Structure 1
């Protein structure tokens, strides 16, 4: 089975010749515990979706499971639960207690983020960048007031760039799933779902995520 991801640190990235990241670690453990063969490939997101929809034994992860996508795939979920919040520099004068508090601030995020869709539907204007890491530099240089990012991503890039951030408000929880081609054997899907449940129960998922905080 081919397991398809886009390059998106800290969830999936190449370090030398090795694939690393939260998503990589979770899916590797999942398939190994289920005793199912797999191959990891990092490809552009649109291509990953098309391959998973049209080619047998292809899955894409992490994917937001929505009503529009429900009938297009077989699902193993939730493979990842992410919490998104607002982050400022540690010495920022801004205090954010409700989501309305950021409405007049310069908010940074990256193109293609589900966070952007959520905030724009609420009427917020977002300053976009092509790479998530750029938002750390924009915060440090006061080109934005606040960064909308998930807890793992913000912690990862803050440490990488030696920047001290202040977590102001967690306002959104998102469930991510493994989306597999419709011709994937149902017994494989059921086995993966059962193993995933056990990985939450024994703390494996939490342990993997903590390594990237």
Structure 2
């Protein structure tokens, strides 16, 4: 949709463009000079807050709350999850401090592309995303699995589930996979929400990374014994630490070297074992 802006000529003879926005009814609403000033002040304040929040950290990493991968602390302390624990280990190895900024996942993915000094994790590397990011280092792998609520038999393949209501995390690699396969789905804001929807009968099948399923059920205070695991979907997914394509190449190299040292010292493997993932 194209929105035309009305041009006005001021007393000094110069064109002035009226500030406009879309109203909730779909029409065009002009902003008064005061409203425009307030909006600008809000944007500037947001940028200043973000700058202050990360002024003390060497690395700013955008993330989103994903059970088992990246979780806010319930009590004072550092965020945790397999991805964040690995990033802490890599930061320690590089001698760099790390700060995490939790955002809705789609917003984090968009924001990092336009902030050259910012990183993002845990991000699945896919062909659709390949050119939009600098892929700094591989963290771990996972598989998409199909879950149902007992006694419903879980599908062994995605083809078996094609006519059922499938829940998946919004803006995730799972969405890209289902769209590529031409399978309809319902997107949930969090995996915990998808678990609750499955328990309530609002979806029939939940497609979720294997490392995320159990922590999500626990977060939702659901009994894992009441859920059945079926087949896997697609190829193995690979989780990365990524950044804007304009990220400092020297710093990217420093992080890759630190990740290699952490792996050589078995630090990353120990974290994998703690989260009960396969160690390659």
TM bracket (short chain)? 0.7 to 0.9
Aligned to 1:178: 241
2:117 to 50, 57, 76: 57
Q: Work out the CA distance in 2 between the residues paired with 1:125 and 1:61.
A: 27
| Greater Rg over alpha carbons, structure | 2
In the TM superposition, what whole-angstrom CA distance separates every residue of 1:138-165 from its partner, at most 9, and x where no partner exists? 2223332211001111111223422322
Higher strand share: 1
TM-score, with structure 1 as normaliser = 0.82
> What aligned pairs does 1:62-141 form with structure 2 within 5 A after superposition?
62-67=122-127, 69-89=129-149, 91-141=150-200
Q: Structure 1 residues 136 and 210, CA, compared in 2 at 3 Å: closer, same or farther?
A: farther
Helix, strand or coil for the counterpart of 1:11?
coil
The answer on 1:9 being equivalent to 2:67 is yes
Q: Structure 1 residues 99 and 51, CA, compared in 2 at 3 Å: closer, same or farther?
A: closer
Q: Structure 1 residues 116 and 40, CA, compared in 2 at 3 Å: closer, same or farther?
A: closer
Number of equivalent positions: 212
Q: Using the TM superposition, give the Cα deviation of residue 122 of structure 1 relative to its aligned residue in structure 2, in angstroms.
A: 1.6
CA contact (8 A) 2:90 2:259 kept: yes
1:24 to 67, 84, 93: 84
Greater relative contact order: 1 or 2 (C-alpha under 8 angstroms, separation 6 or more)? 1
Unaligned runs of 5+ in 2: 1-58
Q: Structure 1 residues 168 and 189, CA, compared in 2 at 3 Å: closer, same or farther?
A: same
Task: Out of 170-179 and 188-197, give the one that drifted further.
Answer: 188-197
In the TM superposition, what whole-angstrom CA distance separates every residue of 1:24-83 from its partner, at most 9, and x where no partner exists? 111111111122233222234455345533444321112233456545543212223221
Q: Structure 1 residues 170 and 5, CA, compared in 2 at 3 Å: closer, same or farther?
A: same
Aligned to 2:52: none
Please provide the CA RMSD for this pair.
2.7
Helix, strand or coil for the counterpart of 2:241?
strand
